[in-house]
Structure 1
Amino acid sequence: MFKKFSIILSIILMINNCSNKQDNSFTIDYEKYQLDNGLNVVLHEDHSDPLVAIATIVHVGSNREKPGRTGFAHFFEHMSFNDSENVPRGANRTMISELGGTRNGGTWSDGTMYYEVVPKDALEKLMWIDSDRLGYMINTVTEDALEREKQVVKNEKRERVDNQAYGHTDAIIRKALYPKDHPYNWTVIGELEDLQAATIEDVKEFYNKFYGPSNATLVVAGDINIEETKELVNKWFGEIKRSNEVEEPKVQLVTVNETNKLYYLDKFARLPEIRITFPTVQEFHEDSYALNTLGRLLADGKNSPLYKEIVEQRRLAPSTSASQNSYEIAGKFTIRVRGNSSVSLDTLYTAIMKGLENFDSNGVNEADLKRIKAKQETGFYNNISSALDKAFQLGIYNEFAGDPGFISKDVENIKNVTKEDVLRVFNKYIKGKNAIITSVVPETQPELILTGSKEAYIKEEEIVQDAEKEFDANANIEYEKTASIHDRSEPALGDLPLLKVPDVWQGKLSNGINIYGIEHNELPLVQFSLRIDGGQVLDPIDKIGTSVMLASILNEGTENKTPAELEEAIGLLGARISISSDLEALYVSGNTLSRNLEETVSLVIEMLTQPRWDSKAFDIVKSRRLTSIKQSKTRPQLVSINALRKQLYGQTHPRSFPVGGTIESVNQITMEDLKEHFYKYVSPKVAHIHIVGNINKQKAQNALKKLGDNWSGGQVNIPTISNVEIPPEPKLFFIDIPSAKQSAITIGKPIVQGSDPNHYKLQVVNNRLGAGSSARLFQTLRIEKGYTYGAYSNISENQFQSTFLAYGQVRSNVTLESLEIFRELIKDYSDTFEESDLEKTKNLLIKQNTRRFETLGNLLDMLDTMSRFQLTKSYIEEQQETLVKMNLDEIRGLANRYLNEKNMIYVVAGDAKTQLSQVKEFGYGEPILLDRDGNKDF
């Protein structure tokens, strides 16, 4: 996987020890030392949960590559998850999830990270796996493994770049902004021809040059004993051979001598997008802090000049964005606006320039600067809420700033940004400066391109049938094992931590709302959700999307506050309040410092009882909803899933429509519809409050009391949704996505309600089929065949009939083969499920329970599940007891009854020109053609 790991640069006025005493600095406790081989080690002890997180940060990203061998850092990350000398084949990918943990990796321009979280009994086993990857994997690399990962990375690029709207924009900007020999000239995933040309010798050269311990930081954070952990680190990592020193990359800032306008006609885009990119400075440069604040001031919030000019006044786009991206050796500042349908980018560019002109004239508003800084404190705590989050921060600061404690200096630098600093960097880097300006528009609308733009060159991959090189994923590996002082065989597990479910308290407000709460004092935060049952289930069938639009407009001010004033009031508290709606409920979600809870609740009451009903806001909300619907049609997997639901549930079931409606239904919704829905259905009679964090029952009830006293409403009758019939036979549908490099496959059927006793059992049944990277779908389609970046299955949890889905995006020229694999794995699942599978499933799910209570979000989910399905406080223990009692016959019986492949519907979204004729050979009759809305008649 490739991504940018952002060092948190949004921290201000930190609070220590969950008290109200303010301090000017913040530190995360740690101990740092270095092994004799040069490996930097950082340890953080946190006994709040029986978990351990390990992060290994290697100081090698795409900026260490050379032209002709681009994408190597990311490709090597993939290779590192394969075999190593002392860990059994495939265990690197399967064992951690079977231990109840989670793992992944990421590569960005400047570095690569590997990370895992496991129950603390698996700490030494994790060290065994991670140390083998860092020090003992290179001898096990084979041609077959090399070829498989080439296919996997290609599939990742197809899924995340080639088959995505605006997926090529980053590559266009990089090539225009940076010279050919600059390390940021190419994307992290690189060029496919470079990847295909990679040899084992190239891989070994890259490893020997960059993957030594002296070029890495190891962080162990969580429920550990420092001294015992030091012994384990020395045992497993200490004898890895010391590597040559790696020279630090030098800063290479760039300039743009003249503005360069480029365009790209995007086959997947439905909306026009413009980006204006300015060269700036590297990370930790003094100007980077002010540039970060400038981005927020320009575009973040209803008072920002770009939002006011583009969204509010001219109605050209649903939102605006401006941000500073500081990397290790250079930086860039980007303004991005994705316009409404058919908006000319000339018009949008003029509006952006006017917004910048307004900022130049009006300067920095002190209230906006204060709001941004207030939000940064809460944001910081939210971003260190888990052991893994802390490991990320400590490791990245150590590797890129030279000190895991640099966070204190970073805090100080952010806090010290003044409005004069912001104006200075605006004048230095943005105002009147040359830039790279990209226009990405739908392929059929070249008239929207910014005047004066030249076409950008993007090399499109051509998918040819049977063109990929074959490989044997199970081929024997012969290699010379590295000598080792101590036994590097698999260590035993420690003592399994006991399941400790948090204490849940319950209460009731004067208006009848039930409260569910958990006191959790690790951070000075409170998180809450108010669920009002109903949601899209209550929408008129011809006006689906009413509840989603209502939720949106409730965020747009109150009787006494304009949208901008409401946003400022929330922001000055460092709080977040968001109203949203899904299929079954409307949610008011909030996050705030515990000291500000009462004031935050007062704003919630105002939003719920005094809507503004502003006509201008209604137009913006409606335009934003229509834009979102159009964008959703550019995502093949989502198109495939939505079409399948329509075919499963028919034309009148709430599940047959996408959440938020269709173009046709939203166009019919009026302000009066929203008012009617609000007064009829938004009532405390169907509401439930969940609250977790640094607050006890008494204080929480006191803070929420006003909500009980000031909010009233009538009875709400939520309709009973009848179950639909199970398809009597399998059917195959096809949606044409012209020029798609991948086919999105979705398979599914209706199953039981979320409250059905069999629902949890079916989640257990599904686990080995598709619930992660160690399950059969992923292992077969990605690891064995190399057809996809990922394939999974899951079971939704609805109050009415839930859905089983299996899905994945596969290389287009293996669409038929992938369909056949999906079918065989599902069809044969019951017969091939063995006692060993049941043992793995039980072990995995029992151990995963230790990770269910770490963050405030985890705790809030637990309470929401309790109230939705009327479960007791001990429902997790009860589920675990159910799991332990399940036997092989029951698993097979449930699979035969509910996951019967002969009752499933198949939907493929792909390139009809090359794949439709192939798919006809699947054996389920002539594929039924659908449009992107899932309709047959088009």
Structure 2
Amino acid sequence: MFRNLTASFGLLAAVSVAALGLSGCDQSKKQPESKPESQSSAPVQAKTQFGIDYQQFQLKNGLNVLFHIDRSDPVVAVSLTAHVGSAREKEGRTGFAHLFEHLLFLESENLGKGGLDAMSARIGGSGANGSTSRDRTNYYQTVPKDALEKMLWAEADKLGWFINTVTEPVLAKEKQVVKNEKRQSYDNRPYGHTQYVIDRNLYPAGHPYNWQVIGSLEDLQDATLDDVKTFFKRWYVPNNVTLVVAGDFDIEQAKAWVHHYFDEIPAGEPIERAAKQPAVLKQSVRRYYEDNFAQVPALTLAWPSVPRYDSDSYPLAVLREYLSQGKRAPLYRVLVEDKQLTANVSMGAYESELAGQTQLQVQAFEGRDLDAVYDGINAGFALFEKEGIAAKDLERIKAGQEIAFYNGLSSVLGKGFQLAQYQVYTGNAGYASEDIQRLLAVTAEDVQRVYRKYIKGRPFVAASFVPRGQAELALADSQPAQIVEEKIVNGAEESFDASQQAAYAHTPSTFDRSKEPPYGDPAETAVPQVWQAALGDGLQVYGIENDEVPTVDFSLVIDGGQLQERTDLPGVANLTAMMMERGTAKRTPEELETAIQTLGAEISVSAGQGAVRVDVSTLARNFKPVFALVEEMLLQPRWDANELALAKKKVTSQLKSAAAEPNAIARNAFAHLLHGRDSIRGYNPLGTVASVDAITMDDLKAYYKNYLSPSVTRVHVVGAIDQGEFLAAAAPLADHWPAKAVRVPQPQSKPAAPGIYFVDVPGAKQSVLRIGRPAMSALSDDYYPAVFSNYILGGGGFASRLMQQLREGKGYTYGIGSGISAGKTGGSFAIGTGVRANVTAESVALIHEILKDYADTYTGADLDNSRSYLIRSNARAFETASAKLGLLENMSEYGWPADYVRQREAITRAMTVDRVRDIAGEYMDPESMIWLVVGDKQTQLGRLEALGLGKLTLLDEEAPTRMAELSVEE
């Protein structure tokens, strides 16, 4: 798992992450949910309040500690949140907070080299991770409960015994990693600089939100060791940190451990909360940028609004969702349905501690002028001013926010995050009751009031991002945005030796901290109790009853999906699935959407390579009417011609938008190389621009009639509903859905010959690498041994050789991993990464060397580490609802028993060094691989040829715009 930078606009929900129904310190207990009293489609009102009990105390050094007990699984989540983000930086010295997010995982005085990452691999943790925002940085991991003391020891070591281990080589290497992250997340993707343009123009110079959380490449490069240490000593102190422990543990023992490991860390200087600094715009600002990777124009508007948890943030959340989301949304009705300028409108909030902003983004269809989009936005606003918001819309939006919150609490880590967020942003971990009261108190008048106060006629920042050479599509009167483009210069980066042992003075302690604490009482894997049943003629049902939160999640999987398509008309399954979401014979698309949202549910229909899926999440109290809607969607699709036209426009826009995005190009090109032009497996499930244009409604109806049947359908349910309730609700579906024989084809793949394949993306700041070959099926005796064998190579995150050598050793990449992907009839082994452009050849050579040497250098210690992780990590294997659904889907698809995890433990214990070497020799031989490179041909192709690693083939140069139609030059 890679360290990820959060708080980008794309991650922002229209909802405050409000703890709906969350009660504070020892004030509530969870009560059983009332059940629906009738078959009515009306929602059942909640009669109880959902609560999270917690305890809170503070050490003398100021460390805030929060405990939450949850004994549903034998796991504990530990998170450490520092109240410091990019807002505490200074202009010219940006990116420090995010840099520390990285540095704190590497080493500390008593954990030693490899730090928390190395320990996580041994103890079966979820992988130490972290995130940085404008205002806080957090570090977190879920571990088996018997490793709690180890985690507290390690977290204390990071806080009190870390900074001396940061040396010049360590800093130099991590600078390269962070710069790679910036290239991957911002510089090398369409619209990646949008937020930079918005914030640079929304906030004045010197404002702490004027710069991006990740900082600039120049600031990162210029950071000195003294700068870094000064920043740490000021902000990473106990009196600026909140520690949360959530899960299955003994409170008194945990308190004793917290005191033992954290008490002697000295407090820092007093830290005052920063004053609010709202953005003030005197007039609108318009900027445009010709984007190297964009294929269609996009317009983003941003208005100054309010900080997180401000009283106006609640009606603003409702306003944003009502304006933009769904068939009833004024902006959707104008821009998507009436004017057909775009397939989607999104609004979100970037609400931070000191200020906030509301943003609206429209990615237009190819060639559309953004002035027309802007006029459409104003027309949508005028429609809202005329109509207002109806009471039923207000209630359906609140219902959706409720289910979104509950879903965020399905893990102990999610519960811990919520407590920490309240503590850090409000100073009150028990703020939940006020939070929910404010949300539920929002009125239609409030929504109209905040629209007039923050949006109507107010100055904004407009960012027009258009394809290179199409500046005429930008919003009128826009001035060029000032963005610094990095040049690709081979050999430009400084060299360093991150492997050398650092020499530093050790920080004293009252006891010997170098000794890692022992494990506690063993954490036994809790395999959920599974029930199975059959409905009607062949409809198989698998379920797990779980009442941790008052929700139900279920999936209905119809085998076939893309496999039922022809290679000359890909995309039929996807469009069929899209149409099943767009109205029924009884309800218009708008009526169906409203009915689903009013019940606080989410119902999605999708098509993948092997199946058409219906995925549902709902409040448990509304399960019956929600399932009735699922049956209606499945058995009575509307086949609306206008909706098909909109759907085809949306898919075409998606294909064109992705056409110059390096990761999308690599994904499609690699599938084509792995499977060949004669196998549907090698095609994008969305289809091609040409095939989508050619697909008719009759094609969709034929697919629906011929391939969707209960005879190839599996149903899975997890949540606060028992077997009898579910079967009673699902029985009508079995009665009304006639079964027919359906054969799912298994097309044979014909992979390309091993060698290096190159796709040119001019100006790419990173090269995307996809390396792999066909492998075994999930039913093969080699499957799980191969998963085991891959752990040390690239499946173990930061513990793997690929990550250790390419990221930690060389600083070539932000992240790299390898994995076994397998289905019932076949699979593949693949490595994926993005590396900085000027080390493309070096990265390919290093990966080749690692693969070549892997079998011969695999040791008994590697075997022990893999065995420890794969057995111990099973303690958290079934914690979340999605993990439980995964268990059920594996059982139904592969015929595995409910406790197949026990079989895997037996395989793990029986593995030997020789068995791993045999697997590696057969499936991980570099000479058997397809090596795909997507990058800048002008600077990198010749350097790859000079490696002499085999034939290099340049793929069709039209590939970036043709996607699945990729061909190989003869």
**Residue identity in the other structure for 2:861:** S
Give the percent of matched residue pairs that are identical in Structure 1 and Structure 2. 41
CA distance in 2, matches of 1:718, 1:908: 33
Question: Are residues 18 and 828 of structure 1, via their aligned partners in 2, closer, same or farther at CA, if it must alter by over 3 Å?
Answer: farther
2:662, 2:490 → 1: CA distance? Answer: 21
Aligned length: 936
Alignment of 1:688-727 (within 5 A): 688-722=714-748, 724=750
1:783 paired with 2:783, answer no
1:883 aligns with 2:897: no
Task: State whether structure 2 residue 501 is matched by structure 1 residue 506.
Answer: no
What amino acid is aligned across from residue 17 of structure 2 in structure 1? L
Higher alpha-carbon deviation: 403-412 or 781-790: 403-412
Paired letter, 1:193: E
Measure the CA separation in 2 of the matches of 1:786 and 1:326: 33
Residue in structure 1 matched with residue 37 of structure 2 by the alignment: none
| 8 Å contact kept, 2:293–2:660 | yes
* Alpha-carbon distance between aligned partners in 1 of 2:954 and 2:324, rounded to the nearest angstrom: 42
Map of 1:658-673 to 2, 5 A cutoff? 658-673=684-699
1:294, 1:507 → 2: CA distance?
Answer: 44
Spell out, residue by residue over 1:862-912, the C-alpha distance to the aligned partner (whole angstroms, 9 max, x if none): 111111112222322112212211212111111111222211110100111
> Compared with structure 1, are the counterparts of its residues 124 and 634 closer, same or farther at alpha carbon in structure 2 (3 Å cutoff)?
farther
Shift of 1:937: 4.5
> What is the TM-score when the length of structure 1 is the normalising length?
0.98
Give me the whole-angstrom Cα distance separating, in 2, the residues matched to 1:10 and 1:684: 40
State the SS of the aligned residue for 2:78: strand
Instruction: Trace 1:493-532 onto structure 2 (pairs within 5 A).
Output: 493-532=519-558
Task: Measure how far apart 1:26 and its partner are.
Answer: 4.6
* Contact preservation (8 Å) 2:61, 2:267: yes
Matched, 1:602 2:628: yes
Aligned equivalent of 1:909: 934
Instruction: Identify the residue that residue 928 of structure 1 maps to in structure 2.
Output: 953
Instruction: Confirm whether residue 217 of structure 1 aligns to residue 242 of structure 2.
Output: yes
What runs of 5+ residues in structure 1 fail to find an aligned partner?
Answer: none
For structure 2, the 5+ residue unaligned runs are 23-28, 35-44
Structure 1 residues 116 and 516: alpha-carbon distance in aligned structure 2, compared to 1, 3 A threshold:
same
- Aligned equivalent of 1:562, options 565, 569, 588: 588
From 398, 401, 405, the counterpart of 1:376: 401
Counterparts of 1:232 and 1:145, CA distance in 2 = 31
* Closer, same or farther: CA 98–629 of 1 in aligned 2, 3 Å: farther
Structure 1 residues 199-254: Cα deviation after superposition (integer angstroms, max 9, x where no partner): 11101110111111001100011011111100010111111111111121110112
Name the structure 2 match of 1:126: 151
Aligned residue for 1:733? 757
Alignment match, 2:17: 9
Match of 2:852 among 802, 811, 827: 827
What amino acid is the match of 1:767? Answer: Y
- Which secondary structure does the structure 2 equivalent of 1:612 belong to? coil
In structure 2, the partner of 1:81 is: 105
Structure 2 residue 703 is the aligned partner of structure 1 residue 677: yes
Letter in 1 for 2:331: L
- For 1:97 and 1:628, the matched residues in 2 are separated by 38
Bigger drift between 2-11 and 596-605 goes to 2-11
| Partners of 2:20 and 2:435 within 8 A in 1 | no
Q: Distance in 2 between matches of 1:567 and 1:10?
A: 23
CA drift at 1:723: 5.2
Cα deviation code 1:244-269 (max 9, x no counterpart): 11121110112211111110000011
User: In 2, are the aligned partners of 1:25 and 1:412 still within 8 Å (CA)?
Assistant: no
Between the aligned partners of 2:839 and 2:249, the Cα distance in structure 1 is 47
CA gap of 1:318–1:141, structure 2 versus 1, over 3 A, is same
1:851 maps to what in 2?
876
DSSP-derived class of the 1:773 partner: helix
**Aligned ranges for residues 201-350 of structure 1 at < 5 Å?**
201-350=226-375
- Give the match's secondary structure for 1:748: strand
Q: 2:138 aligns with which of 90, 99, 113?
A: 113
The C-alpha deviation readout for 1:100-137, integer Å capped at 9, x for no partner, is 11220110011101111111111111111111111111
How far off its partner does 1:632 sit? 2.6
Question: For residue 94 of structure 1, what is the aligned residue in structure 2?
Answer: 118
The reply to whether residue 862 of structure 1 matches residue 887 of structure 2 is: yes
* Distance of 1:476 and 1:872 partners within structure 2: 48
The whole-number CA distance in structure 2 between the counterparts of 1:18 and 1:798 is: 39
Paired with 1:647 and 1:876, the residues of 2 have a C-alpha distance of 34
2:770 maps to 1:746: yes
Instruction: Give 1:467 deviation, angstroms.
Output: 1.4
For residues 29-58 of structure 1, the C-alpha deviation after alignment (integer angstroms, 9 at most, x for no partner) is 100010010000001111110101011110
> Is the 8 Å Cα contact of residues 742 and 812 (structure 1) preserved in structure 2?
yes
Partners of 1:9 and 1:289 within 8 A in 2: no
For the Cα contact (< 8 Å) 2:953–2:969, is it kept in 1? no
Give, in angstroms, the shift of residue 389 of structure 1: 0.3
Is 1:577 aligned to 2:603, yes or no? yes
Q: Secondary structure at the match of 2:342?
A: coil
Displacement of 1:395 in angstroms is: 0.7
Partner of 1:468: 493
Do the aligned partners of 2:16 and 2:309 also contact (CA within 8 Å) in 1? no
Other structure's SS at 1:719 match: coil
SS at match of 1:302: coil
Task: Say if 1:50 and 1:568 are closer, same or farther in 2 by CA, change over 3 A.
Answer: same
Q: Deviation of residue 777 (structure 1)?
A: 0.6
Aligned in 2, Cα 1:273/1:436: closer, same or farther, shift over 3 Å?
same
- Any conservation in 1 of the 2:16–2:314 contact (CA below 8 Å)? no
Query: Any conservation in 2 of the 1:753–1:800 contact (CA below 8 Å)?
Result: yes
CA gap of 1:610–1:22, structure 2 versus 1, over 3 A, is closer
Partners of 1:668 and 1:303 in 2: CA distance: 30
Aligned match for 1:195, one of 220, 223, 227 = 220
Q: Is the 8 A contact 1:504 1:873 kept in 2?
A: yes
Aligned partners of 2:196, 2:667: CA distance in 1, in Å?
A: 29
Query: Structure 2: which amino acid aligns with 1:17?
Result: Q
Task: Letter of the 1:686 partner, please give it.
Answer: V
Structure 1 position 19 matched with structure 2 position 44: no
Structure 1 residue 831, shift from structure 2 partner:
1.0
Code of the aligned partner of 2:212:
T
8 Å Cα contact 1:795-1:802 kept in structure 2: yes
Aligned position for 1:417: 442
- The CA deviation at 1:340 is 1.3
Cα distance 1:449–1:552, how it changes in 2: closer, same or farther (>3 A)?
same
Compute the displacement of 1:797 (Å). 2.1
Letter aligned with residue 657 of structure 1: Y
Any idea what the Cα deviations from partners look like across 1:642-673, whole Å, max 9, x if unmatched? 21221221111122112221222222211110
Equivalents in 1 of 2:621, 2:410: separation in Å? 18
Q: CA RMSD in A?
A: 1.5
Q: Secondary structure at the match of 1:318?
A: strand
Distance in 2 of aligned mates of 1:427 and 1:11:
27
Structure 1, residues 489-529: CA drift from partner, whole Å, max 9, x if none?
21112232112211111000013201011111211111100
Contact 1:529 1:689 in 2 (8 A): yes
Amino acid in structure 1 at the alignment position of 2:748: S
Alignment map for 1:515-554 (pairs within 5 Å) = 515-554=541-580
**In the alignment, structure 1 residue 755 sits paired with structure 2 residue 763:** no
Determine the structure 1 residue equivalent to 2:38. Answer: none
Distance 1:488 1:23, change over 3 A: farther
Q: Is the 8 A contact 1:27 1:407 kept in 2?
A: no
**TM-score scaled by structure 2?**
0.95
Distance 1:446 1:482 in 2: 58
Give the Cα–Cα distance (whole angstroms) in 1 for the partners of residues 303 and 70 of structure 2.
Answer: 42
- Tell me the secondary structure at the aligned position of residue 543 of structure 1: coil
Task: Please state how far the C-alpha of 1:721 moved relative to its aligned partner.
Answer: 2.8
